Amino acid sequence: MNVKSGWLDSTGLRKRFILLSLAAALVFALLLLRLWYLQVISAERYLALSEKNRIRHVAIAAPRGPVYDRNGELLVDNRPSFGISVLRQEVDDAADLLDRLADYLQVPREDLQKRWDAGLRFPAFRPMPLAEDISRDVLELVQENSVNLPGVLIEVRPLRSYPYAESAAHLFGYLGEITEAELQSKEFEGYRPGDFVGKSGLEKSLEPKLRGIAGQRRVEVDVRGKELRLLKIQDSVPGNKVYLTIDRKLQQATEAAFGETSGSAVVMDARTGAVLAMASLPSFNPALFARGISGEEWISLLQNPHHPLQNKSIKGQYPPASTFKIVTALAALKAGIANPGTTVNCNGSFSLGNRAFRCWKKHGHGRVDLKKALKESCDVWFYQVGLELGIDRLSQMALDLGLGETLGFPLEYEKSGLVPTRQWKKKRYGSRWYDGETVIASIGQGYVLTTPLQLATMMATVVNGGKVLRPQVVRRVESLGGELLGEVTPEVIKSTPLAAADLKVVLKALDAVVNEPGGTAWASRINEVHYGGKTGTAQVVRLKDDRDRKREAPYRFRDHGLFVGYAPVDDPQIVVAVVVEHGGGGGSAAAPVARKIIASYFGIEDPPVVSVPEESAEPVEGTEAEGGADSVDSAAPAVPAAQSLTPAEE
Amino acid sequence: MFDRRLLLHFDWVLLGTICLVAALGILNLYSSTSTWEMGTPVYVKQSYWLCIGLVIALAVCTIDYRHLEYLGFIFYAVNLGLLLFVLLFGKTSMGATRWIDLGFFHLQPSEIMKLVIIITLARYFDERGQVHGHTLGDLKIPFLLLGAPALLIMKQPDLGTAMLVLFIGATMALFAGIRRGTLVLLSIAGGLAAFGGWFLLRDYQKERIRTFLDPERDPLGSGYHIIQSKIAVGSGGFFGKGFMKGTQSQLSFLPERHTDFAFSVFAEEWGFVGSLLLLLIYLFIVFWGIYIARRAADRFGMFLALGVVAMIFWHIVVNLGMVIGLLPVVGVPLPLFSYGGTSMVTTMIGTGLLLNVSMRRFMF
């Protein structure tokens, strides 16, 4: 080049141009190196991240399996419910949104705030639930105002529904949101936060069968979480159908029989051990839990002195009182201590050493044989015979009949009751067994404790000649398509044969309890169906005056009324155990309940009321001392009584 | 007055390459904003800006760049005044005061400053003549010329533009020659200034730098841009996800995808192959610009061309460095690729200057 070469072709300048170009190339090479790292070396990782951005896995809740009674009547089902959820990504002003929602939903602002805070542990894109099972009116209101409610979604969810509300609630149990601890445990693998799981009852013990398999939708979403495209869907598999041994009508009749009183009843098929009805009163409505129970509702259930949440049929432990005389009688007959002709003269009191044990009938029963002792529930006869029999043989018979041990009922926290033995006393109290304790044990007081389920089982064992049947409540499990997945057949836990002659004597006496004048349950007889049984009145606490034991005493000190029975007498089909808590006498409180249950089972409408004979109106059984209060306290320790007073939750 | 030789020597290569990149940019905008429903599509608006830009570039060509030499200081003084005016009466938007509202148009003096500083420094270094190496004393004036607007721009605050002004000036000074000792001294001083400057930064600026160093500390907040951009670029892989098929951009996970992060969209959809190609084209423009500078008819033209190349180069490097996670997020657009009228006009004036120098290389 010509003129300009003077300044441009200087070597220094040329060098600079070359350096400049090299520097630029170097910087670009650096950028390319980085791009190579991102787009070639790390491509797979970033592709996975971008897929994670784009694809969301949305779980489809599997409907829980329905529960039917023995006749195929639907007892527990699901119904569609509408819930309010919020996608928090789309919410700019949470406080304002919650204000509006509280207004539309008519719920306290703080409750929503709590739910909101709780929802923060969910992944950011997961809608967080704020309200469940809203009414149609509220639903419409929310829909109309959806423009002012950014991020608010209306979700349809299957909700557990209970067509018979409170009926058999303890059997079904209830659902609750899965806890953090449960999520961590192996048992709940595959569950997600927010899932509802069985917390008690059959819902809990049958959780794996009822749960079903959640489905999944793979959807493409944009950054706001809006679903753009369905990529893949995997349908949920509904939970299995469970058929129970329960008879819905009988269950309801059993509960109705209690009226306003608290307590428990178990009705079992005497031949199979199938539980036909299992009532625990007062009850609760499991639907409250299905939609998430409020704090107030929960506290009011917990603080109710009648313990509505407790399944008293398997968790309530009561002294069997005079119903235990069946055990004592059979043990005495087996041991040859007594025979049908064994007579004792009852003058209203029985002396052992310097202590006196009273009969419930103040002036005594006079000459009493085995039949009369059971029929009129004479305590003195049993004191005498029990003392001769001894605790060892008495306890053995109780155990043989199915008392003192859990029965493998498919519900959690079944209680074992208590059949005291010498070894148990030694271990528990570190002292030897006293004869006075045998005396009161022979009438089912003292240490002895039983659950209503055990009492029914005991009665069934007697009518079956010593075969202890396992009480069962699940009959069959089927897939939704009807495929049989499991069937429960009658099962004998153990069998200690009873002499036919002994049985005949005892059952004859139990027949007389109801069907002969003077029997403690004579007032509750049913002319159409002859049933037999035994009343019992369990002392909760020792009271000084007989009058106190009646209506005047504070509720929690009143006696429990008990009745165990079987029907009909000539071919037993069912056994019944009834406990009316603090209801007073077994004849006055429990037998009428049993009568209604039995009448219902046999389809007898409104059995005619029979006039109540004076003597057996309110039998007062138990022990009282005439002197030496201290020694009596040791004979009737307060511990088991206290246990029955407030049956402990697990 | 019009010389036929001008047409003869017109730099079709540069204009063609520029138009090629701009076209790719518009194609990319078409893809990244295809889901937007409201108003005139962004790619159409960008096409308008390209046309306006081309007209401006050609207009810049028609006036001999040598007139700029004596106009330079006037431009500089006026623009500095405008920057002061902005600081006092400017239009505020999104926490920054950068614009003068002219009713029909929002004037952004800081953008113009990039060009003005090029002209001013080109004149300065031209007048200094051939020096064997500038000493600290020699650099007093360019330092002042550079420092005043940079400070004013930083005050707006607009860290990105301020940095660019400094980078452009530094590149030009470096090329003009600096003594080795002075260079070492300046490096140390620069390091100290950067350290001290930390305390002058606004909170949001500090946050950006912190986030750059560790984006995961706030993945949904200030780290979000960097994380999502890296995911977009990286997930493109070698061959890319295909035109209009970038999930990061199409599903809006990528923020600012039509402006600062336009390259992420391109990289996601065209992969490493596309990125490489685009970078090579940009590098070609830079090299071609250097080539123009080398062939310039005079020293002023050479420095002018170098300044424009430096401006384009630093825009590319800072923007790409930002979207691929090498530099903090400073909000510098990618020339011809990011949507925006201001960036397009500035780039096109620069292109006009390059064309201008290039076509007058034989004229004295």
Same domain for A201 and A272: no
Measured torsion, CA atoms of residues A297, A302, A306, A307, in degrees rounded to the nearest 10: 120
Residue that has been written with the tokens 């069907």 in this structure:
A515
Residue to mutate among A8, A21, A49, A50, with most B CBs inside 10 A, is A50
If one counts the domains in chain A, the total is: 2
Residue A40 lies inside a defined structural domain of this protein: no
Cβ contact A38–B230 (<8 Å):
yes
Mean pLDDT of A347-360: 89
d(CA A86, CA A331): 67
Q: Please answer whether residues B344 and B18 qualify as being in contact, where contact means their C-beta atoms are separated by less than 8 angstroms.
A: no
The single-letter code of the amino acid at A135 is S
For residue A311, the distance in angstroms to the closest alpha carbon of chain B comes to 49
Interval A210-238 mean pLDDT: 86
Any catalytic annotation for residue A322? Answer: yes
Q: Is residue A591 part of a domain?
A: yes
- Is the Cβ pair B313, A24 closer than 8 Å? yes
Structure tokens at A50: 């971008």
Helix (H, G, I), strand (E, B) or coil at A196: strand
Question: Whose CA is closest to B297, among B19, B60, B69?
Answer: B69
Distance CA A459, CA A464 (A): 9
> Are residue A137 and residue A270 in the same domain, yes or no?
no
Evaluate whether B175 touches A20 at the Cβ level (below 8 Å): yes
- What CATH number should be reported for the domain holding residue A453? 3.40.710.10
Whether A615 has a pLDDT exceeding 50, the answer reads no
Residue A300 included in any domain: no
To the nearest whole Å, the CA of B233 is away from the closest chain A CA by 6
Flag if A17 and B294 touch (Cβ within 8 Å). Answer: yes
Angstroms from B85 CA to nearest CA on chain A: 36
Same domain, A85 and A155: yes
Are residue A222 and residue A261 in the same domain, yes or no? no
Which residues is B178 bridged to in the sheet?
B134
pLDDT digits (tens, 9 = 90+) for B140-179: 888 899 999 999 998 888 888 999 999 999 999 989 888 8
Residue among A24, A38, A221 minimizing CB distance to B234:
A38
Residue A81 lies in a domain: yes
- DSSP code per residue over B54-77: HHHHHHHHHS-TTHHHHHHHHHHH
Q: How confident is the model at residue A640 (pLDDT cuts 50, 70, 90)?
A: very low
CATH of the domain at A213: 3.90.1310.10
State the smallest CA–CA distance between residue A34 and chain B in angstroms: 7
How much of chain A, in percent, has pLDDT values that exceed 70? 89
The pair of three-digit structure tokens given for residue A175, joined into one six-digit string: 């659902």
Residue entry with tokens 């730098």: B209
pLDDT value at B94 more than 80: no
Task: Enumerate the residues of chain B whose CB falls inside 8 A of the CB of residue A33.
Answer: none
Is residue A362 situated within a structural domain? yes
**Residue A49 to residue B364, Cβ atoms within 8 A:** no
* Average of per-residue pLDDT across A65-81: 92
Inspect the interface and report whether the beta carbons of B233 and A35 lie closer than 8 Å: yes
Percent of chain A with pLDDT over 90: 52
Q: Exposed (0-12), middle (13-18) or buried (19+): which is B269, by Cβ within 10 Å?
A: buried
Q: Which residues of A touch B305 (CB under 8 A)?
A: none
List of residues 6+ apart from A546 with CB closer than 8 A? A362, A620
Q: Which of A25, A39, A53 sits opposite B233 (nearest CB)?
A: A39
Is A76 within 8 Å of A198 (Cβ atoms)?
no
Q: Are residues A387 and A240 in the same domain?
A: no
- pLDDT tens across A125-173, in order? 677 888 888 888 888 888 888 888 888 888 888 888 899 988 999 999 9
Domain map (residue ranges) of chain B: 1-62+215-364, 69-201
In this structure, is residue A34 part of a structural domain?
Answer: no
**Residue B232 contacts A where some CB pair is shorter than 8 Å:** yes
pLDDT single digits (tens) B186-230 = 889 888 887 887 877 777 777 777 777 777 766 766 678 888 999
A403, A315: one domain: yes
Nearest to A223 among B251, B290, B294 (CB): B251
Per the structure, the complete domain to which residue A394 belongs is given by 251-290+311-645
A224/B320 touch (CB, cutoff 8 Å), yes or no: no
ipTM for the assembly: 0.95
Q: Is the pLDDT of residue B296 over 70?
A: yes
DSSP bridge pairs for A471: none
Flag whether the pTM goes above 0.90.
no
| Average of per-residue pLDDT values in chain A | 85
CA A323 → CA A471, A492, A594, B10, distances in Å? 19, 23, 14, 118
Token pair, residue B275, equals 């990125």
pLDDT at residue A630 tops 70: no
Q: Are A26 and B216 in contact (CB under 8 A)?
A: no
Domain check: are A109 and A167 in the same one?
yes
Last residue of a domain, one of A216, A244, A272: A244
Instruction: Provide the token pair at A627.
Output: 């002197």
**DSSP conformation letters of A115-179:** HHHHHTTS-TTSPEEEE-S--HHHHHHHHHTGGGSTTEEEEEEEEEE-TTTTTTHHHH--EEEPP
Q: Which of these ranges, A231-235, B72-76, B194-198, has the smallest mean pLDDT?
A: B194-198
Strand pairing report for A241-244 and A67-68: parallel
Helix, strand or coil for residue B246? coil
- Per residue in B323-332, is it b (16+ CB within 10 Å) or e — as a string? bbbebbbbbb
CA distance A97 to B131: 69
- Chains A, B: CB contacts within 8 A come to 119
Q: What is the pLDDT of residue B262?
A: 94
Contact B248 A32 (CB under 8 A): no
Tell whether A461 is covered by a domain: yes
Q: Is the CB of residue B327 less than 8 Å from the CB of residue A54?
A: no
Quick one: which H or E segment has residue B128?
Answer: helix B109-128
Let me know whether A205 and A353 are in one domain.
Answer: no
Residue A53: its chain B contacts at CB < 8 A?
228, 231, 247-248, 251, 253
More confident residue, B210 or B44: B44
